[in-house]
Amino acid sequence: MSTPPATQSLAFRVMRLCRPSFHVDTPLLLDPSDLILGEDIFDDPLAATHLPPLIDTHLTNPIDSSDLSYRSRFLLQNPSDSFGLSGLLVLPQSFGAIYLGETFCSYVSINNSSNFEVRDIVIKAEMQTERQRILLLDTSKTPVESIRASGRYDFIVEHDVKELGAHTKYLPQFFKFIVANPLSVRTKVRVVKETTYLEACIENHTKTNLYMDQVEFEPAPNWSAKILKADEHKSEDNSPSREIFKPPVLVKSGGGIRNYLYQLSLSSHGSAESNVLGKLQITWRTNLGEPGRLQTQQILGTSITPKEIELHVAEVPSAINLDRPFLVHLNLTNQTDRELGPFEVWLSQDDTLDEKTVMINGLQTMELSQLEAFGSTDFYLNLIATKLGVQKITGIKVFDKSEKKTYAPLPDLEIFVDMH
C-alpha cells in the first residue's frame, strides 16, 4: 500500500461475525386467576356459572400505558409470553467459542485516518494453524483502488475450520483463538455370525443444542450399510410431509448423547481387502441455523475372511413323519471369481449310528457338478427321521474334489417329527 514514508495512515479493525442469540425475559410471568382461584373452584356449579364473567371482566381491561407503577409487569397478557421470548435479539458480547467443523467468519474494516487519499492498497490475510499456513485473501493482482480521507474499506473473510488447537490470523495485526471439538464420536464394532454391526455414540460438548441434519455412514468399497431404527408410529411413517421435510435430531447441550446403529454387509461379489469399514459424515445446525460438518477417520473392524462357498437351506417340508423319507431343498453358491468343484455332499458320521436320528435315505454321497464364478445350484437331500419330537439335522458337509478341501458343515437345523 502506498503511504507517506513516516506515517502509517491505515488502521485495521477485525471483528468476528456470528449470529445473535434470543433475548429471554428471566422473570416468570403468571396468570392472575391462578393466584386467586384454586384448581377445584369450578367443581362448584354456582362458581362455574358466575365466576368466569367476573374474571374476564377484571382481566381483560386494557393496561394503561401511562401507569408508571409497573404493577402489571409480571402478568401474563398473552399465552405466547409464557415462552419468555421478547422478540428481541442480542448481539454477541464476547469473542465466543469456535468449534471444529464450523466456518469462522471475520469482518475486517480498514480505516484511513489521514487527511489524504490512499491508493492501490494490497491486502493479505493468512491463517496459521499448528500444521500449516493458509492464505485467506490476497489482492496483489487486483488491489483496492483507493480509500478516501477519513474513509474506510470493509470486507469479510471466511475460513472452514478443519483443525483443532491454536489458530492465528495474520493481517498487519494478528489475533489468536483456540478451536475446540464440538462432538465426540465413540464407535463399537460387533460381528454376529456373518453380519457386522457398527454402533456410533455422538456426544455434544458445546454449550448450545445441536440439531443433526445428517449422520451418514459411508462404507468402504465392497461394503454396504443400512441404518437400523426403532419402529415408528404408522401415522408418522405414512405422513407425506416426512418425505419432504425430515426433522433434525436434537442432541442437547452439555453432554447430550445420541446413538446410531448400522448394519454392514460385505458384497457377495467382493472381498474385504482390509479391515477398513468406512467413515461417518456428520452435519448439524445450532439454534439459529449456523451449520457445522465433521468427518471421522476411517473406522476399523475385525478382518473378515470371506467364504469360498455358501451352503444354506432353501426349504424344509412343513410336515415330517416318522420313518418316512422327506426332501430338504438346499442351495450351494460359489462366492469366488473362479470356477470351483466338482463337489460331494454327505452327512457326517462323527456320531454313532445309534445317536443319529436323521439320516440320508439312499446313496450316502451326492455328486454336484462344477460351479462357475459367482454361480449357484439347487439340489435336494433325501432324508429320513427315526425318532419323534424335535430333532436336529447335523453334519451336512461339502467336499471339493479338485482342491481336496472339506468346507465347514451347515449349521444344525431343527425339525419336528410327527407320527404318520
pLDDT at 59 over 70: no
Confidence label for 40 from pLDDT (cuts 50, 70 and 90): low
Segment 264-268 shows an average pLDDT of 76
Confidence label for 27 from pLDDT (cuts 50, 70 and 90): low
Segment 191-210 shows an average pLDDT of 89
Segment 283-288 shows an average pLDDT of 88
The widest CA-to-CA distance across the chain, in whole angstroms, is 113
Euclidean distance between CA atoms 291 and 154, whole angstroms: 24
pLDDT in tens, 171-182: 777 778 899 999
Geometric angle at alpha carbon 222, from 217 and 226, rounded to 5°: 35
What is the pLDDT at residue 7?
A: 42
pTM here?
0.63
Confidence label for 30 from pLDDT (cuts 50, 70 and 90): low
Asked, as a colleague might, if the bond just before 342 is cis with ω within 30 of 0, I would say yes
pLDDT at 129 over 70: yes
What is the pLDDT at residue 246?
A: 74
pLDDT in tens, 330-386: 999 988 888 898 999 988 876 554 567 888 888 888 899 998 988 899 999 999 998
pLDDT at 285 over 50: yes
Q: Give DSSP secondary structure letters for 201-268.
A: EEEE-SSS-EEEEEEEEEEPTTEEEEEE-----HHHHT-HHHHH--PPEEE-TTT-EEEEEEEEEE-T
